[in-house]
Amino acid sequence: MKIKNIKFIVLRPKDVPQNLEIDINCNDQIKNIKNKYFGEYVKNGLNVRLIYMGKILDDSKKLEDYINCYYKDLFSSNSQKSKENSIPIIIHVKITEKSLMSKNDNFDSKQINGVLAKIALLTFVFLLWIYRFNYVDGFPIFCLIVLIMFTIFITTSLLYGYIILFFQILFKIFITIFYKIKEYTIRLYTYINEKAKRFLLIRNIPHNNTN
């Protein structure tokens, strides 16, 4: 295992550059180095790029591959130790926010794939029904029942969100109608009650006058 003291210059957005000196295992992959020493930025969804000698380091490669590319004799033999220690290895760590464009592209691709999958399922069910109508004799009752159940299942699965939304709207409509009917019933009951009281009051007035 080859351990080297690496100087990192961390460049963060809207922040002062930070210098770090860390003993790194040069046989580790770039991805492992990122996760081990700059994992906090990776977890927060930021882009972490290691730049050495003006080149962005590939996550799948080892740090030693890049160092050997620029200093072929750096790890050649023990006789080169003085030369090796005299050459500083400086890696720039550029930390940036992920662009909204890439996020939207990922979201759009997932959305398109979902729509294509739904269209494929609906097309498959549609073709099954066409086959059933064209070949009625070769389509037994059992297969028809299975096809109906399959169609209901697929339709429910694909339109689950819309079905829930439909029932929510329907429930709100019923609740609104119920409260309206209740309101009008109370108002009608109050109106009839007041009319009845007035009628009894008017009816009792002549009877009192005769007495």
What is the rounded distance in angstroms from the CA atom of residue 64 to the CA atom of residue 74?
A: 10
Residue 193 sits in the same domain as residue 126? no
CATH code of the domain covering residue 89: 3.10.20.90
pLDDT of residue 24: 87
Residue 66 sits in the same domain as residue 108? no
Residue 88 sits in the same domain as residue 117? no
Model confidence over 130-175: pLDDT tens digits?
888 888 777 788 888 888 888 888 887 777 777 788 888 999 999 9
Model confidence over 38-72: pLDDT tens digits?
888 888 888 899 998 888 899 888 888 888 777 66
Q: 109: pLDDT confidence band, cut at 50, 70 and 90?
A: low
pTM value is 0.43
Name the residue among 67, 60, 7, 75 with its Cα closest to residue 37: 7
Residue 106 sits in the same domain as residue 93? no
What is the rounded distance in angstroms from the CA atom of residue 155 to the CA atom of residue 157?
A: 5
Residue 28 sits in the same domain as residue 73? yes
Model confidence over 1-45: pLDDT tens digits?
478 888 898 988 777 788 888 888 888 889 999 988 888 888 888
Q: Which residue range is the domain that position 94 belongs to?
A: 3-98
Please state whether beta strands 18-25 and 3-11 pair in parallel, antiparallel, or not at all (unpaired): antiparallel
Q: Which range (54-58, 82-86, 109-113) has the least confidence?
A: 82-86
pLDDT of residue 78: 45
Residue 43 sits in the same domain as residue 8? yes
